[in-house]
Structure 1
């Protein structure tokens, strides 16, 4: 059987590779299940300090397998058949977003629909020139189910997010960079190399501090400044109690 998702550990970097190139790395039930397992493994792996998610072939991920979705319409209970797939995909999104380590999406070619959701769930995004981004659900009479309606407005602002969500129109890498959708642009073919280089750099930082920062940054945006300051203070206290800063501060003795 063809391995649709590949997991590997290279030093401190856990790599998850979507490997369904003949289907543009489209997500069907089997691929989603394999992706969830690989993401869970990366989160559990004590040797992994950074997770890099990427795709093989001509692009990152074209989204859901449309043929598989259409086939649900021939079943007696399409809703019942779809919901377990949705649950597994959302578990994957949640794991990427809340992983106690940095997650980087290395993007090329296209990140469409559910593929865009996966990219947005990661903390950082590197994209090759020419990459196309689209929240294409609306083109198929669907709504995003991988967090785009939450993530896009937070990343690019409500106006640009609404344009992407309501039209499904693509944005290229240059436009995505201007919007703040991606963090780094690189020449074609260099996306994975740059993500790995960045990952190695980030792996030298405090994992405990990175994990705390992720948790704090993803707190409900309606939280008041006073409440946010309190959360930051408590996180700082825990890090100091564990003597984490003294592993990194110049002149410190842990």
Structure 2
């Protein structure tokens, strides 16, 4: 399936089983508009129909990942509608994606963009990158799942302070706090992300999907409930072609060739 298109506010590139989605309004620090949300939804829909896509990377063009919402492209009297129509579906789409989703944070990630990055399965950030809960600067509350994600990543005390003060968290500190997977030197970010994406795209992606769903569901389940879920998901994983391929490869001492099926 053809994933690229005549997009104005994003760039889409595909290499083997990996799709790179780049937020591309660099002159506006890649801030979100309704039109950009529409383009992202279109790409996500195409990815869901493209069996050859095995990993998605989201990054930003220019000097930043994204500064969040473009306030000039906003109906200030209908903020709840904007959240419901754009940001909630965006976060739900990322967290339920059937393939691994990597955030490649190349600079500042503020507001809803910070929370979008943190909603991805794995976050790599350039050493110069920063994460900012900037909502308090305009009298708003965090959205994009930030009030759910942050306390689970860094604890309630840190999450509360970050949301109330709007202090920037440098990438190195974000890694130390467990907010992100890894902080890398700026000139190594694309290389490291590419290696990770290629590695994930060659794994049993259905099994990876089940894994990330189990991890997310564990946040609201008891141990007994989680044990039952693991049993059920393990049954589903054992019915895949990739499981059969993995077992055969192990028994015959060869490298598995997973297909994502």
Distance of aligned partners of 1:182 and 1:8 in 2 relative to their CA distance in 1, 3 Å threshold: same
Of 10, 26, 32, the residue aligned with 1:21 is: 26
**TM-score between both structures, scaled by the size of structure 1:** 0.91
Stretches of structure 1 lacking an aligned partner (at least 5 in a row): none
Q: How does 1:1-254 map to 2 (within 5 A)?
A: 3-69=8-74, 72-73=75-76, 78-79=77-78, 83-84=81-82, 86-219=84-217, 221-249=219-247, 250-251=250-251
Matched residue SS, 2:194: helix
Measure the CA separation in 2 of the matches of 1:92 and 1:39: 9
Q: Deviations over 1:173-227 (max 9, x none)?
A: 1111111111111111322221111011111211111011111111152311111
C-alpha separation in 1, matches of 2:153 and 2:215: 12
Compare 236-245 and 14-23 and name the one that shifted more.
236-245
Contact 2:111/2:135 (8 A) holds in 1: yes
* TM-score (norm: length of structure 2): 0.88
Question: Residue 218 of structure 2 contacts residue 226 of structure 2 at CA under 8 Å; is this kept in 1?
Answer: no
| Partner SS, residue 144 of structure 1 | coil
Give the distance between the partners of 1:183 and 1:135, measured in 2 at CA.
19
Aligned length in residues: 247
The 1-side partners of 2:164 and 2:206 are apart by 39
Q: Structure 1: how far apart are the matches of 2:89 and 2:158? A: 27
RMSD (Å) for aligned C-alpha atoms: 2.0
What is the alpha-carbon distance in structure 2 between the residues aligned to residue 231 and residue 93 of structure 1?
23
- Give ranges in structure 2 of 5+ residues lacking alignment: 1-5, 257-261
